[in-house]
Amino acid sequence: MKGIVVSRVRSVILGCFVLLVLAISSTAQSKSKITKAPFGTADGKLVDVYALRNRKGVEARIMTYGGTVVSLSVPDKNGKLGDVVLGYDSLADYQKSTFYFGALIGRYGNRIAKGKFSIDGKEYTLATNNGANHLHGGVNGFDKVVWTAHPSVEGDGPHLELTYRSRDGEEGYPGTLSVNVTYTLTENNELKIVYSATTDKPTVVNLTHHSYFNLAGAGNGDILRHQLTINADRFAPTDSGSIPTGELRTVKGTPFDFTKPVAIGAWIDQDDEQLKYGNGYDHNFVINKDGNALSLAATVYDATSGRLMEVFTTEPGVQFYTGNFLSGSIVGKKGQNYPRRSGFCLEAQHFPDSPNQPKFPSTVLRPGQKYEQTTVYKFSIR
Ligand code: BGC
């Protein structure tokens, strides 16, 4: 008898406990929220990770070092959340890395030939960190600095505003650049990135975001069977050092034709000069659009998970990069390896080397003007 009473009491307690957990998690799911946790120190400054969660339980974790998206958990076709971006578990790994996992890129996304350009007849020399060329803002680009964070849950979803003041002459760039980037996790499962910048001297600016996505989940093999569509009739061929030649070539009849859905791996190893130069895809596509309205740049679908990602941007171009320089020796989150082509990037941007290419849309920013760009990564299932 005593035994029965004890087991009844136990099951009542257990039942109450289960109800309590459900109550807590249902409140957690019905409210969007932001939590903050320490992630170490860089340059003597504390680095924090902010976890933005929307009402559906989708979560983006973003750290102040590099404005880096550390994880992005979105549902698959069975409703199971999975992290779809590559990254590391420790700050030290991000500090050592040259892959730009999840980072904000600036002042200039992609390459500037020989690290040189002129504005108003004055030549500037930038840090070179990619052979003879300047890549992604230089040795200490925006991916390697600590940003100031201002979190908020007001508006269209939890958001994190990040600010950074880049000093005159940083990495060789003229002008003090005041940069503002806001990540919002909307209730439509979009990660929206709104950038703005102002300067006190004429300069060049081209900001972007460098997440490596794997819609099957980070660490779950390569991305070669993902189906890709890019809304671009033209792309920018490069020389062997990945500097655009200035030509904007039609994709028709080439392995760069993603105007209809094609597996990323369908043609990647074809005997093609451009694919050889890039070691795969590492090219800027010219988005079909007039003006700078927010418009669809690309769609990627992974049939195994059912996850679909759409990329919208106000920018004229998108760099499609297939993680050609990743290698199995990289130890990422949870000790998982990231072999070659286990993630892809879709970096919305102005075209590489624009400061030296008079026919490309200008990237010059002058005092009194405001640089602005918006890019949205939208997740759903099919
Ligand atoms: C560039 C690649 C580079 C990679 C760095 C991409 O945006 O286009 O050439 O290797 O970033 O991880």
Res. 152 pLDDT band, cuts 50 70 90: very high
Percent of the chain with pLDDT over 90: 91
What is the pairing mode between strands 122-125 and 134-135?
unpaired
Which residues have C-beta within 8 Å of that of residue 212, sequence separation ≥ 6? Answer: 85, 86, 99, 101, 102, 323, 326, 338, 342, 343, 344, 345
pLDDT of residue 30: 55
Where does residue 161 rank: exposed (0-12), middle (13-18), buried (19+ CB within 10 A)?
middle
In this prediction, residues 162-179 reach a mean pLDDT of 98
Q: How far apart are CA 66 and CA 162, in angstroms?
A: 10
Say what the pLDDT of residue 106 is: 98
Q: Please list every protein residue whose CB sits less than 6 Å from any atom of ligand 1.
A: 99-100, 110, 242, 282, 319, 321, 325, 345, 347
pLDDT number for residue 19: 31
pLDDT tens digits, 58-115: 999 999 999 999 999 999 999 999 999 999 999 999 999 999 999 999 999 999 999 9
What is d(CA 257, CA 234) in angstroms, rounded to the nearest whole number? 9
Question: pLDDT (tens digit, 9 = 90+) per residue, 257-311?
Answer: 999 999 999 999 999 999 999 999 999 999 999 999 999 999 999 999 999 999 9
How many Cα atoms are found within 13 Å in the side-chain-facing hemisphere of 102?
30
Q: Which of helix, strand or coil describes residue 10?
A: helix
> What's the pTM value of the predicted model, to 2 decimals?
0.92
Ligand 1 pocket mutation, candidates 110, 211, 349, criterion most atoms within 8 A of CB: 110
Q: What is the 3-state secondary structure (H, E, C) of 111-169?
A: EEHHHEEEECCEEEECCCCECCEEECCCCCCHHHCECEEEEECCCCCCEEEEEEEECCC
Residue bearing the CA closest to ligand 1, atom 2: 282
The Å distance, Cα 109 to ligand 1 centre, comes to 9
Q: Assess whether 209 carries a catalytic annotation.
A: no
223-270 pLDDT, tens digit each: 999 999 999 999 999 999 999 999 999 999 999 999 999 999 999 999
Please tell me which residue in 210, 226, 283, 350 is annotated as part of the active site.
210
